[in-house]
Amino acid sequence: MSRVKTISLAIAGMAAFASPIAAQDAQTPDTDVWYRLVTMYNGADARLGRCVQYFPEGSAHSDMIWSAAPVEATDAAYDYQFWRFEPSPDDPKVFALVCKAAPDGYLSIDPTAFSVDGRWKYVSTSDSSTPDDKYGFKLGALKAGVDSETGEVYTDIYTDADEEGLFRYMNCAGADQDYAINVSRATVAYDTNEWVFRLSPRKPVSGLEGVAADMSQSETGQSAVYDLYGRKVAHPGHGIYVVDGRKVVY
């Protein structure tokens, strides 16, 4: 698989509308970027700031996605918290969700149940190039946009209607569901936004040694300044940069 950049996202609520209100202008994710899907829940319980994580076979939530607190790059679960949106060959606005920790697999669009007890299963390997349950995730039926302060994209994530004509949304459930990522027939009735996810960029922290090895002093004799992607920055603003192989805050 080709080398890919990285980032993070957000999910959807609980009540019943026969169809989404009005589709929002959801920004299409970059297909070569990894995203962390972070709930925009703004209440007071443990859902605050949690993200979507794939739990592989034999773990606490075997072969399912579940919510979890974001972890640092040194944590073994780090790659399990990042996702790529792979567009369908038939429709660029319909996606498969692929986890960085298991890039040959995909998140099935068919939940275990069409109710709050439903869970989303991850297929770690595919026996077919185009399985029937691979493509089908859509964005922005109820809420989508760009955060004016952070510049991060946010959106709901949903699939086509179930047998009752209700759309199926990914949702970060509460304590009664052990903070599962479950199925919600979401509407805008809830204002806690546990069904809206923020696409937050995964900052590259590995490979800095390679950047450092390539660093040299500028023609003025000053140490060159690089961003966290290894790009030379002539006029650094406020932020974190790499100078002489070390991270520096400006």
User: Per residue in 117-145, pLDDT tens?
Assistant: 999 999 988 777 789 999 999 999 888 99
Amino acid 148: pLDDT: 82
Confidence at 226, pLDDT banded by 50, 70, 90: low
- The domain tally of the chain equals 2
Residue 7 has pLDDT above 90, yes or no: no
Amino acid 27: pLDDT: 81
Amino acid 36: pLDDT: 96
Q: Are residues 174 and 240 in the same domain?
A: no
pLDDT digits (tens, 9 = 90+) for 166-194: 678 999 999 999 999 999 875 545 678 99
And the tokens for 80? 């399990």
User: Which of 25 and 100 is assigned the larger pLDDT?
Assistant: 100
**Cβ within 8 Å of residue 135, ≥6 positions away:** 86, 88, 90, 91, 94, 95, 96, 109
Amino acid 34: pLDDT: 95
pLDDT digits (tens, 9 = 90+) for 36-73: 999 999 999 999 999 999 999 999 999 999 999 999 88
Expressed as residue numbers, the domain containing 239 is 208-249
Answer yes or no: are the C-beta atoms of 111 and 171 closer than 8 Å: no
Q: Are residues 133 and 218 in the same domain?
A: no
Q: Are residues 124 and 162 in the same domain?
A: yes
User: 140: domain CATH number?
Assistant: 2.80.10.50
Residue 18 has pLDDT above 50, yes or no: no
Q: Are residues 125 and 176 in the same domain?
A: yes
Amino acid 17: pLDDT: 36
Q: Are residues 171 and 231 in the same domain?
A: no
Residue 12 has pLDDT above 70, yes or no: no
Residue 213 has pLDDT above 50, yes or no: no
What are the angstrom distances between the C-alpha of 74 and each of 70, 78, 199? 12, 7, 21
